[in-house]
Amino acid sequence: MKYNIALLKGDGIGPEIVDSAVRVLEKIGAKYGHEFCFTSYLIGGAAIDACGEPLPKETVEGCLASDSVLLGAVGGPKWDTLPGNCRPEKALLGIRAAMGLFTNLRPAKLYPALKDECPLRADIVENGFDIMIVRELTGGIYFGERGMRQGKWGEEAYDTECYSRMEIERIAKVAFETALKRNKRVISIDKANVLESSRLWRKIMHETAEKYPTVQYSDMLVDNAAMELVRNPAQFDVVVTSNMFGDILSDEASQITGSIGMLPSASLGETARGLYEPIHGSAPDIAGQHKANPIATILSAGMMLLHSFGLSKENADIVNAVDAVLAAGYRTADLSHGAPYLSTEEITDKILEQI
């Protein structure tokens, strides 16, 4: 099979980690007889420097014409003084909207070889954990009405949380369908004791749960969920939540896995085309030093194979290769604690050897 993949390398360590993922995809292609064709487009700060805007029209068109998209990272202090609508991060919201990506899948898995990296007590993570956070991506407070006005105490700012039935129903379906392929448990996170938007969210989640009788369903308030993630993370299988809550909880979950450099993500819509990226940032302080951990991006490429192309065995090869490399004791700079470590290219070489 032939697949056309748009590469958005972006800023900072983005080009390095995307290059590593491309090498892994090429190895998978050679092993299984697939042809992956890569086309690079500008995004973020690199796009601002080249053409004055974070998300050029050519980039959007290229992504929409591709079979799927692999993104590195955007942003850096060089562009921090730009107005909000001109900053590199604006491109992320723009490309997600253009591609119609309303679901963000963020797995948080504690690898057995990295148990000592987890900041939680050993007895809490003795059996590890494997969580899939299903985050609504294009609604909620990040996309609601906002502005500045004169209020009771003078100047004030406001942001509005809004969710429609349609938005909640489609993310609920993704969560329950995902659970059917895992351990058949869904926990919905909301703030229904305070927020009207959460009350509608909870109502529709309950309606959807009735259509999936084999899936164990429960609700949890977001403040309690933040505590439970560090008290007993193994209780979670599939977590579904709103845009802002998902943004916060997925970052919390990333920290209890040992390193944010290990965690991939997938942004999906109604079609098979998706946007795949590591959840970490551009890390400009280590860009070009060969210290970046490419594993999250490599695993993101694996998620692309699984979710967009239906290549489950090929994705399993990547996941198993990462497991084997970690089990053998190989580490990148973020996991080395001052001990000798492998460069971005060297850890990629080790993963390639296992495929």
Cα–Cα dist 347/159, whole Å: 43
Closest CA to 245 of 190, 172, 205, 206: 190
Which candidate in 190, 219, 237, 247 is catalytic? 247
Residue-by-residue DSSP string for 208-261: HHTT-TTSEEEEEEHHHHHHHHHH-GGG-SEEEE-HHHHHHHHHHHHHTTS-GG
Structure tokens at 280: 């970490």
Choosing from 49, 80, 116, 223, the catalytic residue is: 223
Query: Using alpha carbons only, how large is the chain's radius of gyration in Å?
Result: 20
Q: Cα–Cα–Cα angle for 353, 354, 355, nearest 5°?
A: 95
Task: Report the alpha-carbon distance of residue 45 to residue 81 in Å, rounded.
Answer: 12
- Per the listing, tokens 């992956």 go with 36
| 142 in catalytic set | yes
* Catalytic residue of the set 78, 130, 142, 323: 142
Question: Which position among 191, 219, 276, 317 bears the catalytic label?
Answer: 191
Is residue 247 among the annotated active site residues? yes
- 123 has catalytic annotation: no
Options 130, 251, 323, 349, the catalytic residue: 251
Q: Mind telling me the catalytic residues? A: 142, 191, 223, 247, 251
